[in-house]
Amino acid sequence: MVRGRLAWRVGRLAEVRDETPTARTLVLDVPGWPGHLAGQHVDLRLTAEDGYRTTRTYSLAAPADGDRIAITVQRVPGGEVSPYLTEVFAVGDPVELRGPVGGWFVWRPTAPDPVLLVAGGAGIVPLMAMIRARRAAGSRAPVKLLYSVRTPADVYYAGELRRPEPGLDVTVVYTRKAPADWPGEPHRIGIADVNTAGWPAEFAPQCFVCGPTGFVETMADVLVALGHDPRRVKTERFGPSGS
Amino acid sequence: MGIVTPGFRGRARTADERLPPGQYLVEDFPVLSAGPTPRVRTENWRFTVTTETGRTHEWSWADLLALPSETPTVDIHCVTRWSKLGTSWRGVSLDTLLADVDTAADYVLAECHGGYTTNLPLEDLLDGQAWIAYEFEGEELAPEHGGPARLLVPHLYFWKSAKWIEGLRLTLDEDLGFWEAAGYHAYGDPWREQRYQGD
What pLDDT was estimated at residue A4? 64
Does residue B2 register a pLDDT over 80?
no
pLDDT (average), residues B107-117 = 96
Which residue on chain B is closest to A40 by alpha carbon? B182
Does residue A242 register a pLDDT over 60?
no
Q: Which residue type sits at B124?
A: D
pLDDT (average), residues A141-158 = 97
Does residue B1 register a pLDDT over 80?
no
- Give the Cα separation of B72 and B89 in Å (integer): 6
Q: Among B1, B8, B37, B176, pick the best mutation site for testing chain A contact (most A Cβ within 10 A).
A: B8
Residue A36, burial from CB neighbour count under 10 angstroms (0-12, 13-18, 19+): buried
Does residue B199 register a pLDDT over 90?
no
Cβ of B81 and A48 within 8 Å? Answer: no
* This prediction's pTM: 0.89
Average pLDDT of chain B is: 93
Min Cα–Cα distance to chain B from A161, Å? 26
Closest to A62 in 3D by CA, of A132, A153, A143, A122: A132
Does residue B15 register a pLDDT over 80?
no
Contact B156, B101 (CB under 8 A): no
The region of weakest confidence among A161-165, A217-221, B13-17, B84-88 is B13-17
pLDDT (average), residues B166-173 = 97
Does residue A236 register a pLDDT over 50?
yes
Which residue on chain B is closest to A49 by alpha carbon? B4
Residues A71-128: tens digit of each pLDDT: 999 998 888 899 999 999 999 999 999 999 888 899 999 999 999 999 999 999 999 9
What pLDDT was estimated at residue A101? 86
- Between A46, A213, A234, which is nearest B31 by CB? A213
Which chain A positions have a beta carbon within 8 Å of B197's beta carbon?
A: 2, 6
Q: Which residues pair with B152 in a beta bridge?
A: B131
Residue B95's H or E segment, with its range, is helix B94-97
The Cα diameter of chain A in Å comes to 57
What pLDDT was estimated at residue B25? 87
Q: Which residue type sits at A55?
A: T
Q: A240: pLDDT confidence band, cut at 50, 70 and 90?
A: very low
Cβ of B8 and A239 within 8 Å? Answer: no
pLDDT (average), residues A172-191 = 94
What pLDDT was estimated at residue B144? 92
Cβ of A94 and B3 within 8 Å? Answer: yes
What pLDDT was estimated at residue B3? 87
pLDDT (average), residues A152-179 = 97
Which chain B positions have a beta carbon within 8 Å of A51's beta carbon?
A: 1
Give the angle A166-A169-A171 at the CA atoms, nearest 5°: 155
What pLDDT was estimated at residue A241? 38
Does the N-terminal peptide bond of residue A100 adopt cis geometry, omega within 30 degrees of 0?
yes
Q: A239: pLDDT confidence band, cut at 50, 70 and 90?
A: low
Q: Which residue type sits at A204?
A: A
Distances (CA, A) of B137 to B38, B65, B133: 21, 17, 11
Residues B134-169: tens digit of each pLDDT: 999 999 999 999 999 999 999 999 999 999 999 999
Contact A69, A58 (CB under 8 A): no
How many helices (H) and strands (E) chain A has is answered by: 5, 11
- Chain centroid to Cα B65, Å, comes to 20
- Give the Cα separation of A130 and A161 in Å (integer): 13
Residue A223's H or E segment, with its range, is helix A213-225
Q: A243: pLDDT confidence band, cut at 50, 70 and 90?
A: very low
Which residue on chain A is closest to B143 by alpha carbon? A217
Average pLDDT of chain A is: 93
pLDDT (average), residues B34-54 = 94
pLDDT (average), residues A27-38 = 95
Q: A1: pLDDT confidence band, cut at 50, 70 and 90?
A: very low
Contacts of A22 (CB under 8 A, 6+ apart): A74, A75, A86
What pLDDT was estimated at residue A234? 97
- Give the Cα separation of A55 and A40 in Å (integer): 16
Residues B87-98: tens digit of each pLDDT: 999 999 999 999
